[in-house]
Amino acid sequence: MLTKLTGGIIYDPASGVAGRQQDLYLQDGRIIHPPADAKPDKEYNLTGKVVMSGAIDMHTHIGGGKGNIARLLMPEDHRADPAPHTHICHSGCGHAMPSTFTTGYRYAQMGYTAAFEPAMQAINARQAHMEMADTPILDKGGYVMLGSDDYLLRLLTTRQDQQAINDYVAWTINAAKAIGVKVVNPGAISAFKFNQRKLDLDERHCHYAVTPRQILNVLATAVQQLGLSKPLHVHGCNLGVPGNVETTLDTIQGIAGLPVHLTHIQFHSYGAEGDFKFSSGAARIAEAVNKNKNITIDVGQVLFGQTVTISGDSMKQHAGHKHAKPNKWVVMDIECEAGCGVVPFKYRDQDFVNALQWAIGLETFLLVDDPWRIFLTTDHPNGAPFTSYPHLIRLLMDRTFRNEMLAQIHPEAQKMTTLASISREYTLYEIAIMTRAGAAKLLGLKDRGGLSPGHWADITVYTDHPNRERMFEKPDYVFKDGELVVVNGEVVATRWGTTHTVKPDFDPSVEKGLKDYFDRYLTVKLGNYKISDDEMTEDGRGSITVQPTR
């Protein structure tokens, strides 16, 4: 079937098109060159509409055990937002941590066509993939967590060379069917199991005697040497701690030019100044990001309201449990690999700290110059549920609206932020970079995130409404792999996206040491640990797309 999208205003940063009227032709799921004589089977008149590729969320907790703990922990949150089934959609629940089907529909309803789980534990990767397999419409993928796993820490203490580490990292990526590697509070999830409650960048793990900086360096090196497009995804030390801006700057300096992605950087950009010993470090972070081209970031914006924080950072989540609202929380140690913490949280605009967190996130967005190196996230659901993205986009694109919101937050927080003096307003082109082309480039997604011929036809069509929240919450049309799935913000058809992975090479002899270790110390056999291709595809709806390594 040939489909023609006629007369839309195209924003396609992947090919440098910034608001040019242009027709698009779709066939067999892809965008094609204008055919010489073919008559379209279906034509959509998009005159005056804004056309972008489908949005890509490069950091959102949509699959894996800790998210499911959050769901099971919060029945009262679901009850307020039931999602009835329709003749097209399955039922479920929404708000802070929606059910999987509802997650897929609501992302698609906002024009998103891909989302990536950033904290997939290898031992729990099956669950992450099974949940994502039940998340319709979206393409998906996961970053596998390393850095607090006893196997890596043992490699480090026995001073194995970088090649041995690379082999192990590559093996794990393959075993877990991942597209990237994440490190969460390097070494600290393990240290917490030994009752260490704090681990600074150069502090030694009380058992293994390695430091977070060493772990960061070997993992960032491994990811680069294995040729992954996606740089090491770093959830740094000291999340949420006043003064942690110094740690973050030190992390940027210390990584010595290696590509790294610092995730939810808002939570790592705090000074310790002022009457409340809590201040914004956003300007210093933005300056460092602007200067160091090897660094990419996503923000992890806080927006006000009830949510639930879920993290692999069991050390910091345990420390934060006294802020739980409602007062219930779960912390887990997991399989000599990692851990997790689930702490419900309500961000309030009249709370000084929460209000300043909100401002710090926005300062970061507005002070980082290069939209190719910063990504729009709330670290769903940690800063806010993903459904608040249209509101966040309006805050970035509309200074008047932003300042109205600023005027409502805790007065002391208003004094501690430079937000009012920042005049920048994001353009549609910059939004398209942050949420589309930049994310596809960062992840190395071939033929995604662009609108030139050859790309998969993941396309979102918006009405150019001056209220950007209105515009982005309800696209006119969303196409996934060329199929119309959303009309006027309602799901009209569903389908299954693919799972993006990478398969870096490794020396197969790495399995010898691993097998001994699994047999002696773990509770699953090596052969049963690895996820097979058929597990992902046997139900007839999943598929695996292997993205190239460099």
Partner 1 sequence: MTEITEVPSPFCGIGSDDLAILADGNTLTVTANGCAATTSLFEQAVTDTRPRVNGVATGLAAAIAKAAALLRQAHAPVIGGCATDVNGMRALLILAERCGAVADHMNFNQARANVLAMQDSGWMTTTLAEVKNRCDLLLVVGTDIEAFAPRFFERHLWTDAMFVEDNNQRQVIYLGKAPSGEASTAPNGTQAHVLDCAQADLPAVLAVLRALIKNKPLQAHQVAGILVTDLQNIADRLKAAHYGVVAWAAGALAFSQAELSVQMLSELIKDVNNQNTRCVGLPLGGKEGDQTAHQVSGWTTGYPARVSFQRGYPEYDPFLNDTHRLLETGEADTLVWVQAFNVAAVPPVTDLPTIVVGRSGMVFEKEPDVFIPVGTPGIDHAGHAYRMDNVVAIRLKKLRDSGLPSTAQVLNALAESL
Contact call for residue 250 and partner 1 (CB under 8 A): no
Q: Which of 477, 446, 459 is nearest to 545 (CA)?
A: 446
Contact call for residue 328 and partner 1 (CB under 8 A): yes
- CA dist 489 and 478 (Å) reads 8
Q: How many residues bind partner 1 (CB under 8 A)?
A: 65
Task: Show the site string, 95-124: x = touches partner 1 by CB under 8 A, - = not.
Answer: --xxxxx-------------------x-xx
Contact call for residue 523 and partner 1 (CB under 8 A): yes
Contact call for residue 342 and partner 1 (CB under 8 A): yes
CB 291 within 8 A of CB 30: no
Q: How far is the CB of 346 from partner 1 (least distance, A)?
A: 16
Site stretch for partner 1 (CB under 8 A), options 69-77, 243-251, 262-270, 445-453: 69-77
| Structure tokens, 533 | 């291709």
One of 241, 332, 487, 492 touching partner 1 (CB under 8 A):
332
Q: Which of 54, 2, 42, 15 is nearest to 456 (CA)?
A: 54
Note the Cα 244 to chain centre separation in Å.
Answer: 21
Nearer to partner 1, 68 or 172 (CB): 68
| Structure tokens, 7 | 């007369």
Task: Show the site string, 463-502: x = touches partner 1 by CB under 8 A, - = not.
Answer: ----------------------------------------
Residues 188-217 that bind partner 1 (CB under 8 A): 192-195, 207
Residues 47-66 that bind partner 1 (CB under 8 A): 65
> How would you class 232 by CB atoms within 10 Å of its CB: exposed for 0-12, middle for 13-18, buried for 19 or more?
buried
- CA dist 99 and 68 (Å) reads 9
Residues 131-150 that bind partner 1 (CB under 8 A): 131, 134, 150
DSSP 416-459: T--GGG------HHHHHIIIIIHHHHHHT-TT-S--STTSB--E
- CA dist 93 and 100 (Å) reads 9
* DSSP state, residue 268: G
One of 30, 126, 323, 424 touching partner 1 (CB under 8 A):
126
Say which residue the tokens 């918006």 belong to: 462
One of 9, 17, 83, 219 touching partner 1 (CB under 8 A):
83
Contact call for residue 158 and partner 1 (CB under 8 A): no
Q: How far is the CB of 335 from partner 1 (least distance, A)?
A: 4
Q: Which of 268, 302, 294 is nearest to 370 (CA)?
A: 294
Site stretch for partner 1 (CB under 8 A), options 81-89, 438-446, 453-461, 464-472: 81-89
Cα Dmax for the chain: 71
Q: How far is the CB of 263 from partner 1 (least distance, A)?
A: 22
Amino acid letter, residue 248? T
Contact call for residue 155 and partner 1 (CB under 8 A): no
Report the sign of the C-alpha dihedral through residues 298, 59, 243, 208, in that order. Answer: negative
Q: How far is the CB of 184 from partner 1 (least distance, A)?
A: 16
| Structure tokens, 259 | 């590509």
Q: How far is the CB of 474 from partner 1 (least distance, A)?
A: 22
| Length of the chain counted residue by residue | 550
CB 39 within 8 A of CB 270: no
Q: How far is the CB of 57 from partner 1 (least distance, A)?
A: 18
One of 532, 533, 543, 548 touching partner 1 (CB under 8 A):
532
Contact call for residue 327 and partner 1 (CB under 8 A): yes
Q: What angle do CA 241, 245, 251 make, to 5 degrees?
A: 110
Give the footprint of partner 1 on this chain (CB under 8 A): 65, 67-68, 71-75, 78-79, 82-85, 90-93, 97-101, 121, 123-124, 126-127, 130-131, 134, 150, 192-195, 207, 318, 324, 327-337, 342, 520-525, 527-528, 531-532, 534-535, 538-539
